[in-house]
Structure 1
Amino acid sequence: MEWLVKTVLAAAISFLVPWLLKRLLPASGADPRSTGPATTAGKGFPWLAWIGALALAGGLSGIISGAMGLILGGVANWSVLGATLGIVQWYFLSRRFDVGPWFALASCLGWATFVFLQPLGHPTWAVVGLLVGLLQWLGLPRGMTGALWWIPASALAWFAGGMTGLGVGMMVAGASHFAIGWIVGWTCVGAVGAAVLALPLSRMWRGDARDGLGAASES
């Protein structure tokens, strides 16, 4: 019951935040009939901003889930991690592509299954990542260049992020304090996962720019 309440709350937030931001933020110029907005055509993929933002999201999710654990009981709240990462991912993609709130909600729902798959051990990170990638792929515009690579890349990204986060987090916790190691570990999960996902995402970014230039030349 506790898991269900936390998951429903995180899912609602992961959907409502993008929904509200899409209406409050200045329009990105995305055309619903295309895979990307004209206002970002020709701009390179923001590698550092993407990795930094997801690293921050990972650390923030560690703080939030840790606080929830102290107040409500339990440990890591996977839906909180999924919601936080998903909202940041949605923000970056929505600035260039026509991506709706489902993209963030899909992250929340996918990560929420971690608790049921945990008996698998370390491979759980890859299985959950694969599920997250599949659910998010459903929310990507049809015909987007290299979109299918998002699914296996998500499995690899979150497996690599999870293993790095566990290793670094435990090392820092042993040398300092558990709380510090906890936050650093989750920060590493976000940063490493973002670095891996940047590879297929940058390809989509470039493909979208080429499509935009081609459409402009035809017109």
Structure 2
Amino acid sequence: MLTDVRDILREHGTTYAAEAGITLRDKPAPLFQLLVLCLLFSAPISAGVAAASARELFREGWRTPRRMREGSTWQQRVDALGRGGYRRYDESTARYLEQLCDRLLEDYRGDLRRLRDEAGGDPRLIRRTLQQFDRIGPTGADIFCREAQAVWPSLRPYFDRRALEGAKTVGLPADPDELAAQVAPDEVARLAAALVRVDLG
């Protein structure tokens, strides 16, 4: 059983954003890319397929809501998702991506920091507001908050149910504050991701 936090981070500490090729920063483009990844996770597919499909979308240059909305057709998005292995849900997801871009541009001018600021940085309100995007449910909102805490300190510590189950599995405290105290503040997101991977593994 893994009990050393350093071992857990070394073996399992790749965030989903990093796996999808997203260099997460507190900027509109990478935050949009994270939201796209969370939308892809909202279908019952594997994490690897979601990350690969996100990489295909971003490889086409659709790294902002405006570029995806104006620079891609539904068929092009379907094709990119297919290259990532995103089968069965590719056609509906291509539509949801368009709706996501429309909503983000209309409500927040393409900048998710506006959503955060309107929520006053409150994690519960951020999580609830994220679910107003079509296809982003509780799981997708949890993934977003879990990963975005790397660049949004007001979210810390964010350990969802899966992360806390992973903590129990490796004998770590199942309390968010105690868990966060195990690592430096800028490692909390990696620890949360690692614990989720432990729980899923």
Please indicate the TM-score interval, normalised by the length of the shorter structure: 0.3 to 0.5
Q: TM-score scaled to structure 1, two decimals?
A: 0.33
Query: Comparing both structures, which one devotes a greater share of its residues to helix?
Result: 1
Structure possessing the higher radius of gyration over alpha carbons? 1
Q: TM-score scaled to structure 2, two decimals?
A: 0.35
